[in-house]
Amino acid sequence: MHYNPQIDPIYLRGTNGAGVILIHGFTGTPDSVRPVANALEKAGFTVLAPLLAGHGTTPEALSHTRWPDWYRSVQKATMELHEQCPKIFVAGLSLGALLTLKLAIDYPQSIAAIGCLATPLTLHPWPSKLLPLVQHSPLKFFFKYQKKFGVDIKDPLAKENFWNYNLMPLASIASLVELQKEIQVTLAKVHTPTLLMHSRHDSTAPYDSMNRVASRISSATTETVTLENSYHVITLDYEKELVAGKVTEFFKRFL
């Protein structure tokens, strides 16, 4: 089978006995978290970045999936990595950050620390207000996809090389909103050490998401980092080295 580095899962074998699951965002692929994966491997971690169900193929394939399907992709990867590494860390970007929080809620004993990058605790108003109207009316048979108006990356080179769908299935966005609601009401169940990073200029996930997560979780160790020279996809943008370095440094503290 032909290997496509922009789409396929990432697996990097480390030396320190600890493993990290890295989770990409909605409509993206594992390649979007590669700079973080490389930094973690350099520090000795074994890294597995799975491809979420429905991603990396076509928007039509994505339209047949919902958040429990994406979550199962992550659970499966976590179990696979756990067979090799007794200690597991998890970090995710955007949708990946929500799935990271879900893992920390469901498996509190199994995860040593988490990194939530550009967490979309809510979306900007239009999806949350308009989606329910479309989903619960005959409109859903006519409006199946929302065109992406652009990629939320400041660095033009990174933006040009970013692989993602340019159409977003409304049914899948609606499912993402359902996951947000589930996470919002269960955040207090997060007791895992947590690193939160967010750009002040994120136009996909509101910047105040970071402090809202920080104030609601029950972790004894919570750190927040504000980025000033990136947009939403902070793992690939101008401050990608800072992001990769902070995640690596944070996880090393809990080895």
- pLDDT at res. 129: 58
| Catalytic residue from among 202, 209, 230, 237 | 202
**199: annotated active-site residue:** no
DSSP class per residue in 111-178: EEEEEEES--SS--HHHHHHHHHHHTSGGGGT--EEE------SSHHHHHH----SEEEHHHHHHHHH
Catalytic-residue membership of 202: yes
For residues 205-217, average pLDDT = 97
Q: Which of 24, 31, 73, 94 is catalytic?
A: 94
Is the Cβ–Cβ distance between 171 and 140 less than 8 Å? Answer: yes
What pLDDT, on a 0 to 100 scale, did the predictor assign at position 134? Answer: 58
The SS3 call for residue 250 is helix
pLDDT of residue 2: 76
* Residue 171: predicted pLDDT: 87
**pLDDT (mean) for 49-77:** 97
Q: What is the set of domains in the chain, with CATH numbers?
A: 10-252 (3.40.50.1820)
**pLDDT tens digits, one per residue of 150-187:** 789 999 999 999 999 988 888 898 899 999 999 999 99
- Please state, in angstroms and rounded to a whole number, the distance separating the CA atoms of residues 39 and 80: 21
Would the pLDDT of 133 be above 80?
no
31 included as an active-site residue: no
Report the percentage of the chain scoring pLDDT > 70.
Answer: 91
User: Model pTM?
Assistant: 0.94
